[in-house]
Amino acid sequence: MNILSLWALPSIIIIILTFGLVKKVPLYEAFTEGAKDGFKTAVNIIPYLVAIIVGISMFRASGAIELIGQVLAPVLNKLHVPAEVLPMMIVRPLSGSAALGVFSDIAHTSGADSYAAKLAAVMAGSSETTFYVLAVYFGAVGISKLRWALAVGLLADCIGFLAAILVCSWMFT
């Protein structure tokens, strides 16, 4: 398996290059055209990335996470969700890097083998960075009306969090 994983990417590249040569595709020109398109896409999504980064920063700096934590604490206690995991549930739909920071803090303060760290890890794997995905991917293709995508994305995140709670409470308690 280790050898297979080492040779997977080089094999794919060789297959693509061979196929292009057989079909007489101008490989270098096709590559540079793809790079140009990629650069154009990157430039097009910069405003959306800036908007989501500013929004996340404002949300974190405002103290809203702590306020939401205080409001939801009674419900989370009944579900046996440690209080330190709540920031993960709030931040994960906003930003993957912020969620990674929250997870790192949970693992550092509670211990890597703690129930809170295990629950946070499963939550990170069972949810998506919904706002980031909508901002970047919808922005890249020029979709400005989210319609039901935001609601469905947040619903999927909630279902992922609930599934993580159920699975972790079943496996680790």
Question: For the segment 101-133, what is each residue's pLDDT rounded down to a tens digit?
Answer: 889 889 999 999 999 999 999 999 999 999 888
* Structural domains in the chain (count): 1
Q: Give a yes or no: residue 120 inside a domain.
A: yes
Cα(96)–Cα(129) distance, integer angstroms: 6
What pTM, to 2 d.p., does this model score?
0.69
**Is it the case that residue 66 has pLDDT exceeding 80?**
no
Residue 43: band (very low, low, confident or very high) from pLDDT cuts 50, 70, 90: confident
49 — pLDDT class (breaks 50, 70, 90): confident
In a domain, 11, yes or no: no
Task: Give yes or no for a contact between 82 and 110, defined as CB atoms under 8 angstroms apart.
Answer: yes
With respect to residue 3, please indicate whether it lies within any of the assigned structural domains: no
The domain of 77 spans: 45-172
Task: Record the tokens describing residue 42, joined without a space.
Answer: 């990157």
What value does the mean pLDDT take over residues 124-143?
A: 86
Q: Is position 121 within any domain?
A: yes
Question: Does the residue 27 lie in any domain?
Answer: no
138 belongs to a structural domain: yes
Which residues neighbour 161 within 8 Å (Cβ) at sequence distance 6 or greater?
Answer: 89, 123, 126, 127
Q: Residue 33: inside a domain, yes or no? A: no
The answer to whether position 59 is within a domain reads yes
**C-alpha to C-alpha distance for 53 and 48, rounded to whole angstroms:** 9
Q: Is the pLDDT of residue 51 over 80?
A: no
Q: Is the pLDDT of residue 160 over 90?
A: yes
